[in-house]
Amino acid sequence: MEQLLTVKEAAARLGTTERFPRRLIAERRIRYVKLGGHHVRIPETALAEFIIAGTVEPLTVGWSGGKALA
């Protein structure tokens, strides 16, 4: 079974306040597990997937005649 993170732990890994992962959960933008009525946990893989989905790779830009070529 994979590690389940509290909202506080997820926020620490993202470098944000607890409000941000709570908003992700409320907007259903991240997978989470409901435990009982009030407790939620975020699977480590869900957090990793969220980070990967938001990762923007740099472009390699070439120059020709003073103009950028993508």
Residue 70 has what pLDDT?
A: 66
d(CA 48, CA 56): 14
Q: What is the CATH number of the domain that holds 33?
A: 1.10.1660
Name the pTM for this structure: 0.80
Q: What single DSSP character describes residue 69? A: E
Backbone angles phi, psi at 20, to 5 degrees: -65, -55
d(CA 68, CA 70): 6
Region of residue 39 (left: phi > 0; alpha: psi -120 to 50; beta: else):
beta
* Count of structural domains within the chain: 1
Provide the residue-wise pLDDT of the chain in tens; the chain has 70 residues.
Answer: 899 999 999 999 999 999 999 999 999 999 999 999 889 999 999 999 999 999 999 888 888 888 877 6
Range of the domain at 47: 4-69
Using alpha carbons, list the distances in angstroms from residue 20 to 9, 24, 58: 12, 6, 25
